[in-house]
A and B are shown apart, each in its own frame.
Chain A
Amino acid sequence: MLVGYSNVSSKAKIKGLEKIDRLFNTYANSSFGMIDPEGIEALCSDLGVDYTDVRILMLAWKLKAEKQGYFTQDEWQTGLKALGVDSLSKLKKALSDLEKEVEKPSNYEDFYTYAFRYCLTEEKQKSVDIESICELLNLVLGVQFRPQIDSLIEYLKVQNDYKVINSDQWINFLRFCKEISFPDLENYDAIQAWPLILDNYVEWMREKHS
């Protein structure tokens, strides 16, 4: 009886896994053995979300995907299992849950940091170019901190001091949005350990509004 039971469960497991794998194969590029950007695009359209939707990024986070634009089989399996889905429709539903999960304070910072890392496409790459950063900021923080992000993006595009942003600066953007009152920026103190780029941003803002 027990054996039968476990057989069932493991069978079910295997079956579940099979479904996941099948889903994987739908989108995977057979020559690479992983889902490539094209595959992801296809997945997106099937899920009914835009390729650039933040939820895909969240999915990548959940999958702990290493390389931007690619999902390996392992990542796919682990991720979908963690989500508890094995079909497209389930995945679709799970996406909205995923949003809530990410927004939990305990996860959010992790997701945020992940988002930056996800952009480091080259080996040994430490920083991301301004353009991409602006897009990423918009994607990741735009909803929650619309005015700050809009203003910050404007500045980043205008300034000349920095062509790339590193992870330290990235993480401080989030801190900035969370801690500094906007738009007065009253409690910002340049003497503290804020990255120089934010010091410059605040200066720029203050000049604009004076």
Chain B
Amino acid sequence: MENKAIGLDKGWDYMQKGITKLKRILEGLPEPPFTSEEYMMLYTTIYNMCTQKPPHDHSQQLYDKYREAFEEYISSTVLPSLREKHDEFMLRELAKRWANHKVMVRWLSRFFHYLDRYFIARRSLPTLNEVGLTCFRDLVYQEVHAKVKDAVITLIDRALLKNVLDIFVEIGMGKMDRYEDDFEADMLQDTGAYYSRKASSWIEEDSCPDYMLKAMSHYLHSSSETKLSEKVQNELLVAYANRLLEKEHSGCRPLLRDDKVEDLSRMYRLYCKIPRGLDPVANIFKPHITAEGTALVQQAEDATSNQASSATGVQEQVLIRRTIELHDKYMAYVTDCFQNHTLFHKALKEAFEVFCNKTVTGNSSAELLATFCDNILKKGGSEKLSDEVIEETLEKVVKLLAYISDKDLFAEFYRKKLARRLLFDRSANDDHKRSILTKLKQQCGGQFTSKMEGMVTDLTLARENQANYEDYLRSNSAAHPGIDLTVTVLTTGFWPSYKSFDLNLPAEMVKCVEVFRGFYETKTKHRKLTWIYSLGTCHINGKFEQKIIELIVLTYQAAVLLLFNASDRLSYSEIMAHLNLTHDDLLRLLHSLSCAKYKILSKEPNTKTISHGDYFEFNSKFTDKLRRIKVWEILPLSFREFSPCTFISWNLVYLLLRFQNSDPKFVFREQLILCKTNIGNCRNCFLEDIFYLNFVNSPSKVPLPPVDERKKVVEDVDKDRRYAIDAALVRIMKSRKVLGHQQLVSECVEQLSRMFKPDIKAIKKRMEDLITRDYLERDKENQNMFRYLA
């Protein structure tokens, strides 16, 4: 190493050569790279110049010259090249120049590194690195950043942009303020404008799914992302939310229509990030379902009015099935696409509540649903389904019940049908009965199902009772009427009221009744047995000329037929006198025996209808290819109103006749009679159960009142509702003492909502009634307040 001090100029010349070489390399000019020797020399030159003793210590000058080197290069080369370019090209150039600059800084600072170690450190000056960047910033960045920003915004090419944006970030030297102040604020605003423009063109061109796909991609620096996302979201989705969703061929509605599950899920994901973003989607979801549901109802209506009456009930059952399917479908949407969001659950619920409460061909949906269940559960019902399927379907039915406001109406219809099934459909599956009751209980509360459960229990108890009766007979063989009885004791409060009145029984039956009564009194003293023959059935052997045929008839029919054991020929009036029936009932009975499919009695004159002047004879010529025929269908006769007595018994009586008498034309095989028991308080309202004798061939000839039954059920339910409203009002007022009108009404509605949706007018009416009965009074000062009067 020479001992001579290096002069500044000389030393700088040497450095300048190195700098020039570097520049050439950066410019891409052919230039061999630095060898390590060259590097070493450059470094050492600086080192020497810095370590020389003053006045040859050139650190300060070198420091300045270092800066100048950059400034010179930038001014002469870099800036011009940037100035002459625009937009994207400018950005590219800028990126290139920046990259170059960084290289230059790296290399030069290595050469000049010694300055960093002592001179700069001692004087706390900006480091070489900082100096380098500062030059770029002050000269280049200051000049171009506005242009760059504009260019960025117009282009938004992700890769290029990232590079350019990094400039902004790195210029900030670790702090984000350069980026935020110079770029971000404007960018956000402009991006808003940008996306707004983009959105408006997209909305025109793209289908909703495509639009959504585009919206999902993000362009910008991650820190901006949240703020930007909001803005983007806002511009893309919110501003156009309605338009997007409403798009005719690809918007929300068509997506629903065409079951585009993927797209709907995406829609959900996008909109769920925006506050209240899901509201419009839900607002399309709900009417869509409502429309579909209502269409189903309308279809059923139209179909029924077009078809012949023999297919009644079929369309309604189809409707229920379809409604269940609809529910399954849209529930799946809610759980899958819409991630179980409450908003959508609510939309689904409200939609179903709208059309599930529409009446179809005069039948309320409550009734339809009850009929549907009945069909599934009864033997020989229209569906032959496996147990699993039945369970599943019942589950779904109970879910639908939640949407129906008249749940109590459903309960009544269901109860009546259940009673019928329980009494006549003995072989039907018990498990299903119990399981649906459990489900209903879960859904609607114990009060709903208490009666029905009582009914089911009654039958079990009845079997026990029967066993006891048979024991009784065994131990008292003298008392045996010669007929075996099976008795079912039922509790009135649970069962629909079955009418009956005193039929003049054949002697054989009378004896049975007496014997059973004797037995029953040994068991319980406090119950009165009232026998109701309206639901009885008998097996009678008819000894016809050709062969003996076993006839399964109603008790009433049996009573008629047995008359002919004593007389060959009887007139209408004689039969009437003997049996003590009403005209209506007798007409039906005689019709079934003489004018229907099985003409067991022959009628004079041989017309198709019964009149009061007719005469009847045992038709010995009657025959059929079967040995045993049913002369009644599962639904027995209609009877008049049954007025409740204090204790009434229901009994199902099963008789086996071993009757040894003169040669009767009709011999009892079996007889089923029904009676009814009531323990405890009678309810004020009873449901009237009207049964029909379904004639096999001539349904239209005999007056059957199906409408009445429905009307009666509705009336009874209305009556029950009045009591329920009264009770609820009194209960609420008793605890609150003083309450405003609106609040009272809404609490009342809520309390009753499990069973039915009370009409506001009905509530008002009951309140008036309670005022008249001095349960409530209106506050003197405030007309809207009510006070409980103890």
Contact with B along A137-173 (1 / 0, CB 8 A): 0000000000000000000000000000010110110
Q: Which of A166, A168, A191, A193 has the most B CB atoms < 10 Å from its CB?
A: A193
> Which residues of chain A (174-197) have a CB below 8 Å from chain B?
175, 190-193, 195-196
Q: Are B783 and A196 in contact (CB under 8 A)?
A: no
Q: Are B784 and A168 in contact (CB under 8 A)?
A: no
Q: Min CB distance, B789 to chain A, in Å?
A: 13
Q: How far is the CA of A120 from the CA of B765 in the complex (A)?
A: 22
Which of A166, A175, A191, A192 is the one whose CB lies under 8 Å from B768?
A: A166
Residues of A near B783 (CB, < 8 A) are 172, 175, 193
Which of B741, B761, B765, B772 is the one whose CB lies under 8 Å from A193?
A: B741
Q: Are A196 and B784 in contact (CB under 8 A)?
A: no
Residues of B near A169 (CB, < 8 A) are 768
Q: Min CB distance, A43 to chain B, in Å?
A: 34
Q: Are A168 and B761 in contact (CB under 8 A)?
A: no
Beyond A175-B783, A191-B742, A193-B741, whether A199 also contacts B772 by CB under 8 A is no
Residues of A near B740 (CB, < 8 A) are 193
Closest A residue to B765 using CB positions: A196
Q: Min CB distance, B657 to chain A, in Å?
A: 58
Q: Are B741 and A199 in contact (CB under 8 A)?
A: no
Beyond A127-B772, A166-B771, A168-B771, whether A192 also contacts B764 by CB under 8 A is no
Contact with B along A91-133 (1 / 0, CB 8 A): 0000000000000000000000000000000000011000000
Q: Does B778 contact A (CB under 8 A)?
A: yes
Q: How many A-B residue pairs have CB under 8 A?
A: 36
Which of B745, B760, B764 is the one whose CB lies under 8 Å from A195?
A: B764
* Interface size band for B: 10 to 19
Question: Interface SS of chain B: helix, strand, loop or mixed?
Answer: helix
Beyond A168-B778, A172-B783, A175-B783, whether A196 also contacts B768 by CB under 8 A is yes
> Which residues of chain A (71-104) have a CB below 8 Å from chain B?
none
Beyond A168-B778, A199-B761, A199-B764, whether A193 also contacts B771 by CB under 8 A is no
Q: Are A192 and B784 in contact (CB under 8 A)?
A: yes
Q: How far is the CA of A152 from the CA of B783 in the complex (A)?
A: 20
Residues of B near A168 (CB, < 8 A) are 768, 771-772, 778
Closest A residue to B771 using CB positions: A168
Q: Does B786 contact A (CB under 8 A)?
A: yes
Residues of A near B761 (CB, < 8 A) are 196, 199
Q: How far is the CA of A191 from the CA of B743 in the complex (A)?
A: 11
Q: How far is the CA of A191 from the CA of B746 in the complex (A)?
A: 11
Q: Are A126 and B768 in contact (CB under 8 A)?
A: no
Beyond A126-B772, A166-B771, A166-B772, whether A196 also contacts B741 by CB under 8 A is no
Residues of B near A193 (CB, < 8 A) are 740-742, 778, 783-786
Q: How far is the CA of A193 from the CA of B744 in the complex (A)?
A: 10
> Which residues of chain A (42-62) have a CB below 8 Å from chain B?
none
Contact with A along B747-781 (1 / 0, CB 8 A): 00000000000001100110010011000001000
Q: Are A192 and B772 in contact (CB under 8 A)?
A: no
Q: How far is the CA of A127 from the CA of B769 in the complex (A)?
A: 12
Q: Min CB distance, A85 to chain B, in Å?
A: 32
Q: Min CB distance, B686 to chain A, in Å?
A: 27
Q: How far is the CA of A169 from the CA of B768 in the complex (A)?
A: 9
Residues of B near A166 (CB, < 8 A) are 768, 771-772
Contact with A along B384-412 (1 / 0, CB 8 A): 00000000000000000000000000000
Beyond A127-B772, A175-B783, whether A196 also contacts B742 by CB under 8 A is no
Q: Min CB distance, B774 to chain A, in Å?
A: 9
Residues of A near B745 (CB, < 8 A) are 191
Q: Min CB distance, B470 to chain A, in Å?
A: 58
Q: Are B771 and A192 in contact (CB under 8 A)?
A: no
Residues of A near B742 (CB, < 8 A) are 191-193
Closest B residue to A161 using CB positions: B765
Cβ-closest 6 pairs across A and B = A193-B741, A196-B764, A193-B784, A168-B771, A196-B765, A166-B772
Given contacts A127-B772, A166-B771, A193-B786, 17 further A-B contacts (CB under 8 A): A166-B768, A166-B772, A168-B772, A191-B745, A192-B742, A192-B784, A193-B740, A193-B741, A193-B742, A193-B778, A193-B783, A193-B784, A193-B785, A195-B768, A196-B768, A199-B761, A199-B764
Q: List 12 A-B contacts (CB under 8 A).
A: A166-B768, A166-B771, A168-B768, A169-B768, A171-B778, A175-B783, A193-B778, A193-B783, A193-B785, A195-B768, A196-B761, A196-B764
Binding site for A on B (CB under 8 A): 740-742, 745, 760-761, 764-765, 768, 771-772, 778, 783-786
